[in-house]
């Protein structure tokens, strides 16, 4: 199968600690890199992954809180020092371009590449990126300011031709694309050969959902139904539920409830509050409801 990996650069929340960097992830999908959020230190963490900076062309910012975007200015500057020439596309809720324009004008006046900002709405789900193999859709969340998660969904790949069967029935080359996409073949003698006899199924398309930051929000369940991997913020323990509600965040137990309702295959929890010195407490609360749960940590790579 083609590569589909999530690299955790940071999984802490707003208050910096010596254990965690602020929120940031990089997805490696078929050797194209996509960054989700860019907290402080993201470029240092990105170097540690040894992923190629030149393959990162799209950055998705969930909301305009500092622990999700303070690292962006440094990353843009570093790309300039490295001689980048390809455009860098930054997708975010409205307002980020206005915030960054004076900083870019002062610190990065002579960038050798263009930073292109794409603002999206947060009230309704929308497609904000698409290429021949991938679609990225926003997931409206409920936080103290406009905020969206992101659903990364592979497009279905056509079925694979069985060469020996194609040769056996002398199928012309010009018929192959049609057969890959579900058609059968009728021989010159009038015999119909079904699609299933000429092909083998392609791997099912994979989906990754990123949900941070948000209060417990069951409305997202239908959109993320059946995802292969769900990252959901789990800032607090259930013992701190009042604080979670006050700050519009989620507990680990609530994240597990979302994963269970969505029939996700795996759950990855992160965005940990600095008050917990041992996040295994959060893991225990989540796995009690949803056993296929893993703690995010810096340098973790998860294959989808």
Q: How far apart are the first and last CA of the chain?
A: 10
Q: What is the pLDDT of residue 83?
A: 95
Confidence of residue 16 (pLDDT cuts 50, 70, 90): confident
The residues annotated with a catalytic role in the active site are: 67
Per cent of the chain over pLDDT 90 is 92
Residue 230 contacts residue 211 (beta carbons within 8 Å): yes
pLDDT, the chain, mean = 96
CA 220 to each of CA 5, 10, 122, 141: distance values in angstroms, whole numbers, following the listed order: 23, 24, 13, 8
Fold of 4-157+203-303: Metallo-beta-lactamase; Chain A (3.60.15)
Burial of residue 124 (CB within 10 Å: 0-12, 13-18, 19+) is exposed
Asked if the model's pLDDT at residue 158 lies above 90, the reply is no
Per cent of the chain over pLDDT 70 is 100
Spans of all domains in the chain: 4-157+203-303, 160-197
DSSP states of 101-133? HHHHHHH-TT-SS-EEEEEE-SSS--EEEE-SS
Mean pLDDT of 148-164: 94
pLDDT digits (tens, 9 = 90+) for 43-55: 999 999 999 999 9
Residues recorded for the chain: 304
b/e map 75-91, b = 16+ CB within 10 Å: bbbebbeeebeeebbbb
Confidence of residue 246 (pLDDT cuts 50, 70, 90): very high
Q: What is the pLDDT of residue 228?
A: 98
pLDDT digits (tens, 9 = 90+) for 165-178: 999 989 999 999 99
Q: Give the span between the Cα atoms of 74 and 79, in whole angstroms.
A: 9
b/e map 4-40, b = 16+ CB within 10 Å: bbbbbbbbbbbebeeebbbbbbbbbbeeebbbbbbbb
pLDDT digits (tens, 9 = 90+) for 256-294: 999 999 999 999 999 999 999 999 999 999 999 999 999
Mention every residue, 6+ apart, whose C-beta is less than 8 A from residue 101: none
Asked if the model's pLDDT at residue 1 lies above 80, the reply is no
Mean pLDDT of 9-20: 93
Tokens (6 digits) for 44: 């240092």
pLDDT digits (tens, 9 = 90+) for 198-216: 999 988 999 999 999 999 9
Q: What is the pLDDT of residue 250?
A: 98
- Residue, of 87 and 185, whose pLDDT is higher: 87
Q: What is the pLDDT of residue 107?
A: 94
Mean pLDDT of 232-239: 98
Asked if the model's pLDDT at residue 120 lies above 80, the reply is yes
């Amino acid at each position: 199968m083609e590569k589909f990996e999530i690299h955790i650069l940071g999984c802490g929340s707003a208050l910096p600690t010596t254990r965690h960097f602020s929120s940031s992830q990089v997805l490696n999908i078929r050797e194209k890199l996509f960054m989700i959020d860019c907290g402080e230190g993201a470029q240092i963490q990105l170097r540690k992954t040894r992923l190629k900076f030149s393959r990162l062309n799209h950055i998705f910012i969930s909301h305009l809180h500092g622990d999700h975007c303070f690292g962006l200015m440094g990353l843009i500057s570093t790309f300039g020092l490295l001689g980048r020439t390809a455009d860098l596309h930054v997708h975010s809720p409205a307002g980020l371009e206005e915030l960054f324009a004076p900083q870019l004008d002062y610190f990065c006046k002579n960038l050798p590449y263009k930073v292109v900002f794409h603002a999206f709405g947060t009230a309704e789900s929308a497609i904000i990126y698409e290429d021949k193999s991938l679609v990225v859709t926003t997931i409206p969340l409920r936080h103290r300011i406009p905020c969206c998660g992101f659903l990364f969904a592979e497009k279905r790949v056509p079925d694979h031709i069985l060469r020996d069967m194609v040769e056996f029935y002398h199928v012309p080359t010009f018929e192959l694309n049609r057969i890959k996409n579900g058609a059968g073949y009728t021989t010159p003698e009038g015999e119909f050969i079904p699609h299933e006899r000429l092909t083998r199924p392609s791997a099912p398309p994979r989906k990754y959902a990123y949900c941070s930051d948000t209060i417990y929000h069951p409305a997202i369940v239908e959109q993320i139904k059946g995802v292969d991997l769900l990252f959901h913020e789990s800032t607090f323990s259930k013992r701190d539920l009042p604080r979670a509600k006050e700050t519009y965040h989620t507990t680990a137990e609530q994240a597990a409830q979302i994963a269970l309702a969505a029939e996700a295959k795996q759950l990855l929890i992160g965005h940990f509050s600095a008050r917990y010195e041992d996040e295994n407490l959060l893991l225990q609360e989540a796995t009690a409801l949803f056993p296929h749960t893993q703690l995010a940590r810096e340098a973790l790579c998860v294959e989808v």
